Chain A
């Protein structure tokens, strides 16, 4: 199924990835080719098949809620692109 330019722009917006015009054109062609490969799956009747999320059965894992040593605040902020005191500094989220 070929994607059009608007499809690619929509997907990029969902994924929060900025794209140049050139990238949009390249991905339009490449993603369309990849989606073509997926058509093969339509050959299989899966109407009565349960989906598999994990290949190895793992039941819901619970543990005791015991407080552990927390990450040191300096470690937490070690890789912060921008910090202010003990806080991550971010761009304004709310409009004025």
Chain B
């Protein structure tokens, strides 16, 4: 007997439109599933059941009037750094534990106007800084495939909720891999759009030149439908791109004959799991069998991306997080008459170790005497990395790589050494540096744990990437595998 919570977005849409079930039925089913598994998975910081049921009732009325859209009545999880008016938005930080936004992020404004149903807010690494969800100030999220392992991060709640069927689709954010890497580790599909494709208004800022919101879903079609709903120009985000509207589902032809795919050897790094290598190589052969041509390409600046990223992202973070001073909102230490001591103690107690580490790293990289050696140098290296990608995209239409060099690792294994944790994102960081779109698609298993392949394209090539993923999904069943919770 199949349950409504098992449906893909596309299937749920068909069922709602045909009247097989109501939006209230669907929302109730998702909460029933959440009731079954959430105490083990811990994908949600906040559940919004009564709010969701009111939204679902409204969605049913809209559908009854024949005014529904693609997202009307669809239950979604939203990462807890996307502002939701009247619903606390914590960034999984003590600093914002009781913070209630007074406005909606553009993406949530768009989704709620289209009648989407908010199931709750997704757990994450604090302020999106981390690769395992262990930096949440509240609790770690557990990988639905093995509860003793991490779901990846920072959008660990988004990926785990979709993998565990606790949400039909989720919104995450990706600054250095935070959508793609957890999608890979949890066996679901995650898309990081081109920088500027989706408005960042109301996304709590981490590194403003790298952050981008995107969907985590059960397949490429669901990601395309969700991207349709959230993409577009927004005058409130000055970096948002003013482009004609695109229907990302229109390009899902399943035909990739003649598409040129490049395989950058630098992404098959020393120390990667042999099982990951095997799965990704098999996926490349599958794509070749579907008619794509495959050729090796080289991105020689890849090895500099990690250092480049860990200068730029912390520098931007140190500026963005200067706003948490305990005066206007957020945690505030009061037990001193001294303004500076209040501010320093507020930040000492409100931020966790990784956030402090990155703020300090950024403050150092931007400080007098070090700016040229670190920040300026990293921005120059950023130019070289961009040029590398631009050069290979004259040769090929898209790149195929592993998303993560390893499968989900045990909780606690990498928390002691920040550099080891940073290395996990070696295949995803360069994409944010260059502002490119990329997605992770399930392509097999290694030791019983999901493996993801990463598809990378030039700016604004989301339709191509989604079509490659969609074609691959027609030929394989990896994206349909579900953990036995």
Q: Hey, which bits of chain A sit against chain B, CB under 8 A? A: 7-8, 11-12, 14-20, 23, 26-27, 30-31, 33-35, 37-38, 40-41, 43-44, 46, 49-56, 58, 61, 63, 71-72, 75-76, 78-82, 88, 90-93
Contact = CB atoms under 8 A, between A and B. Distances in A.
Contact of A90 (B239, B327, B377, B432): B327
Contact of A40 (B100, B303, B337, B360): B303
A41 B304 contact: yes
Nearest to B196: A56
A-B interface, 5 closest residue pairs, ranked by CB to CB distance from nearest? A55-B435, A81-B332, A51-B379, A79-B329, A18-B348
B214 to A, nearest CB: 15
Contacts of A44: 301, 304, 380-381, 384
B310 interface: yes
B364 interface: yes
A80 B344 contact: no
Given A49-B384, A91-B337, A91-B339, 11 more contacts: A8-B360, A16-B325, A18-B348, A51-B376, A52-B383, A55-B434, A55-B435, A55-B436, A61-B238, A72-B102, A81-B327
Contact of B307 (A11, A41, A46, A53): A41
B329 A16 contact: no
Interface string B82-119: 00000000000000001110110000000000000000
Interface stretch (B66-74, B127-135, B351-359): B351-359
B241 A56 contact: yes
Contact of B100 (A20, A23, A78, A81): A78
B361 interface: yes
A77 to B, nearest CB: 9
Contacts of A17: 344, 347-348, 351, 356, 359-360
23 contacts: A11-B367, A15-B363, A16-B325, A16-B347, A18-B347, A19-B356, A23-B356, A31-B357, A33-B418, A35-B364, A41-B304, A41-B308, A41-B377, A46-B381, A51-B376, A53-B379, A56-B196, A61-B238, A75-B102, A79-B329, A80-B329, A81-B331, A91-B337
Interface string B418-459: 110010000000001111100000000000000000000001
B348 A34 contact: no
A58 B240 CA distance: 8
B213 to A, nearest CB: 15
A38 to B, nearest CB: 5
Given A31-B357, A82-B332, A52 B347 contact: no
B270 to A, nearest CB: 15
Given A41-B377, A41-B381, A46-B380, A92 B337 contact: yes
Number of contact residues on B: which range applies? 35 or more
B318 interface: yes
A34 B98 CA distance: 33
B232 interface: no
A11 B341 CA distance: 16
A41 B377 CA distance: 8
A27 B357 contact: yes
B235 A15 contact: no
Contacts of A50: 380, 383
Contact of A34 (B310, B318, B340): B310
A74 B379 CA distance: 42
Contact of A76 (B102, B337, B417): B102
A53 B326 contact: no
Given A14-B367, A81-B332, A31 B360 contact: yes
Nearest to B345: A18
B414 interface: no
A8 B364 CA distance: 9
B470 interface: no
A11 B360 contact: yes
Contacts of A79: 98-100, 102, 328-330
Contacts of B168: none
A38 B196 CA distance: 28
B380 A51 contact: yes
B356 A41 contact: no
B361 A55 contact: no
Contacts of A7: 364
B435 A80 contact: no
Interface in B275-325: 301, 303-304, 306-308, 310-311, 318, 322, 325
